[in-house]
Structure 1
């Protein structure tokens, strides 16, 4: 599943081709995505795209009439292609622009979403209860301490709760906890403020680094054959079960938390 850095790099990649341009058509080949594509999604036709924003893993295409909300689901990707280009089997939606280009949604598993919202998007049911962005100033140690107070749930699962903070997916939760030296099994409410300050710092660093890596390894959003996904990353624990810790050499262990894989060093993380 594309995580926050992949979605942010997608936003950065498509913005130069969309922002300031007017939508001339919306071609929906298959409306049956995670939720049916609503007919009112066509309200974007004739509108100028003012901004392309990201909220959590949602992409928001702002116009004066409303906002298109796009989610890539588990297998979706967005590409910019010449308008009228032949569509492949899983090319479900084209947003056609006045510059002769089209934003194309490809989604083999159809767990993505293409929705329309005329209210402030913060009032949309999918967005209204989300926590702060992890790279924003609103996500800090004091905020996290307040949200974790009394929590018995493991810190790894707390970090992946979008009501607490958005976009810290499995890969980045693993990596940030390792960098902060925190055992992923510890109850969130037991972690001291100084350790939370270190954890918040490492979350911001690991996400910013991943976005930077994506910007250098995944630049081309105009190649219709390209399939953006996880880009080159330097991972210390995720996917390295049984390999030596990069800091102390101890073999890394793997457990399951909330049906997700957690890899950690039993020596460096405590």
Structure 2
């Protein structure tokens, strides 16, 4: 048996545990494609949070696996400005956001991931989700929703792409 880990960005880890528990995993939030991840969960976790909504959905203590690209795309499809405080987002908007996160992640998995520069599948083939990106990497291009101009800002040392016109 051979196990390989190809992790050029060094975000991953291989953890071994006899009892199914590990200290590095104990504080992680829910998986976004599980039933536990819904608007009630996300809304309750967001109360009194002053951090921006993008950082909130990327926080692995809240939900795991929502990286920068998928956060930008989900917030765009939900019409939520990434600079809004997580605690100020209504439950109605969390309904839409959780739906969009689940949909985008499922589409990305089906497309084999998002190949930009350094990602490829185990067999070396690219992921094709990058071809469907609405905002990520599209600074100064027209928004497909409202024809506004896609903006790029920096949040928590990460590039954030969004449409200032249709994301409120």
1:153 Cα deviation from its structure 2 partner: 0.7
Does residue 120 (structure 1) correspond to residue 17 (structure 2)? The answer is: no
Task: After superposition, give the CA deviation of every residue in 1:155-195 in whole Å (9 maximum; x if it has no partner).
Answer: 00000100111110000000000000000000000011111
Secondary structure of 1:254's aligned partner: strand
Name the structure where strand makes up a greater proportion of residues.
Answer: 1
1:104 Cα deviation from its structure 2 partner: 3.1
Over alpha carbons, which structure has the higher Rg? Answer: 1
- Report the Cα distance in structure 2 between the residues aligned to 1:268 and 1:109, rounded to whole angstroms: 32
- Report the Cα distance in structure 2 between the residues aligned to 1:126 and 1:254, rounded to whole angstroms: 33
* Structure 1 residues 258 and 107: alpha-carbon distance in aligned structure 2, compared to 1, 3 A threshold: closer
Match of 1:105 in 2: 5
Match of 1:53 in 2: none
- Report the Cα distance in structure 2 between the residues aligned to 1:157 and 1:269, rounded to whole angstroms: 16
Residue of structure 2 aligned with 1:199, choices 84, 94, 97: 97
Does residue 239 (structure 1) correspond to residue 148 (structure 2)? The answer is: no
Secondary structure of 2:4's aligned partner: strand
- Report the Cα distance in structure 2 between the residues aligned to 1:193 and 1:141, rounded to whole angstroms: 7
Residue of structure 1 aligned with 2:33, choices 135, 160, 163: 135
- Report the Cα distance in structure 2 between the residues aligned to 1:143 and 1:113, rounded to whole angstroms: 27
* TM score, norm. by length of structure 1: 0.55
* Structure 1 residues 110 and 154: alpha-carbon distance in aligned structure 2, compared to 1, 3 A threshold: closer
Match of 1:159 in 2: 57
Residues paired across the two proteins, number = 160
Does residue 174 (structure 1) correspond to residue 72 (structure 2)? The answer is: yes
Task: After superposition, give the CA deviation of every residue in 1:107-135 in whole Å (9 maximum; x if it has no partner).
Answer: 567665333211222xx111101001101
Unaligned runs of 5+ in 1: 1-96
Task: Give the superposed CA RMSD.
Answer: 2.1
